[in-house]
Structure 1
Amino acid sequence: MKHIVIIGAGGFARGVAWLIEEINSIKRQWQIIGYVDDDSNKHGQILNNYHVIGGLKELHRLSRDIYLICAIGDPYVRQTIVKKVAPLGFLFANIVHPSVKRSPYISMGCGNIIGVSSIMTVNITIGNHNIINHNCTIAHDVFIGNYCNIFSAANLSGNVVLHDLVSIGTNAAIVQGISIGEGTIIGAGSVVVRHLPPNCTAVGVPARPIKFHQELGDSQK
């Protein structure tokens, strides 16, 4: 059995702990050591049966054969934390709910979280530290970069490209062949029918940019 620490101790982190329990209900694979979170007010708390064992500094004393999963919803914060702890040499797990339907023709990096009843077909490339929430559909030849968020019931048609740090809102749909630039946010329920540039927020049917936001440097991510 492999041991795992969950980075973060918020609502999403508790949801990830439940995903791990669901995996274990089919075949016991993971022993959850607990959560780490730099919010000192949470240290020592028990959240759904698992302790908040301390902040990120607590990782320094743990064995390097322990796996990590970064359960932080904000993609920029997630990126910052991963870059901070990666030099410690831990492995990052992929946490995939047992109900996910996926072909064997998928390339996936590490640190990804995939929720209940999502469907992923063929020749899909998924990078690192992405969140694909519940009931999403990912069609053939989709490329997903790193640190993306795909919220519940979003639909990505074939040959869609998501660059790093893209967020796709709940019930949004991306039609075939569309490319979405780095850092762009798609609002809930939007339908994307045209390529979108980096660092904008786009909403509506069809989705149109309503604002542009400054690109965040690594020190701010």
Structure 2
Amino acid sequence: MYYMKSNIVLFGGGNHLQYSLDIIEREGKYNVVGIIDSVQPIGAILFGYKVIGRQENLSVLITEYGFDAGLITVGDNWIRMAIHDAIIEQLPNFRFVNALHPSVIIGNNVQMGTGIIAMAGCIFNPGAKVGDFTFFATGAQIEHDCEIGDYASISAGTILGGHVKIGKFSAVTLNVTVVDRLTIGENTVVGAGSLVTKSLPDNVLAYGMPAKIIRSREARERFLK
């Protein structure tokens, strides 16, 4: 039986766009009608797709290009939220999709939110709860019964032990290991290569083996430079 693909638009023309498109193309579930970006020139071609306009003109673009859903392809956690909020302010019922690479493994009883991007080789083991607008880079391993808060990011090669909780807006960066049953607070960043053996509070930067708190962090502080 033939199913017509849904038309979608991608919000963000930066570094995360290329692999997001790769995932979407490999999934084969959606037809990308264009990119909405605040910086790239309208009409520019990015990885074979046209920049069709600005976010503030969404209500016009949705009619002109006939899309009914979208995905935010931006790496910074707080900026993803800002884009989401601006979209919903214009179109309260706008629908967001997930982009999950075909090689992603999703176990039994996993609860997946919306607006999620998961790159090749990610594993979500049974009982995990994955929040909205979260991001998972290549090979991230989310063990059983983990809870990932909205707008959080888990980078490539990172392993979360069972029953780990990651707070909203937090970022666990490259090749980090988090021991079972720990909590990483909201807006906390764990530096690359760290071993987390104790829970971390909200609003800190921590790294090392074992990870130690280095400094505090402000709300909306970027972790991607």
TM-score relative to the length of structure 2:
0.91
1:104 Cα offset (Å): 3.0
Provide, for residues 122-150 of structure 1, a one-character-per-residue CA deviation record: whole Å limited to 9, x for no partner.
00101100001111111110000100011
Task: Tell me how far 1:216 sits from its aligned partner.
Answer: 4.1
Q: CA RMSD in A?
A: 1.4
Shift of 1:58: 3.2
Q: CA deviation at 1:110?
A: 0.6
Match for residue 85 of structure 2 among 59, 83, 86: 83
Q: Which amino acid aligns with 1:77?
A: I
Q: Percent identity?
A: 30
One of 65, 69, 72 as aligned partner of 2:71: 69
Q: Which residue of structure 1 aligns with residue 130 of structure 2? A: 126
TM normalised by structure 1 equals: 0.92
Which residue of 95, 106, 109 maps to 2:99?
95
Shift of residue 42, structure 1, vs aligned partner = 2.8
**2:147 counterpart (143, 149, 153):** 143
Residue 20 of structure 1 and its aligned partner are, at CA, apart by 0.4
1:111 to 77, 91, 115: 115
Q: Structure 1 residue 65: deviation in Å?
A: 5.9
Distance 1:196 1:133 in 2: 22
CA contact (8 A) 1:44 1:52 kept: yes
Amino acid of the residue matched to residue 109 of structure 1? Answer: G
Q: Is 2:170 aligned against 1:166?
A: yes
Query: Which of residues 130, 153, 156 in structure 2 aligns to 1:152?
Result: 156
Aligned length: 212
Partner of 1:43: 42
Task: Give unpaired runs (5+ residues) of structure 2.
Answer: none
* Bigger mean CA offset, 60-69 vs 166-175: 60-69
> Are 1:53 and 2:57 counterparts?
no
What is the rounded CA distance, in whole Å, between the counterparts of 2:33 and 2:87 in structure 1? 17
Contact 1:34 1:50 in 2 (8 A): yes
Structure 1: tracts of 5 or more residues without a match: none
**Letter of the aligned partner of 1:205 in structure 2?**
M
Q: What is the CA deviation profile of residues 17-71 of structure 1, one whole-angstrom value per residue up to 9, with x for unaligned ones?
A: 11101112xxxx21001110111x4321101110011110232121486111011
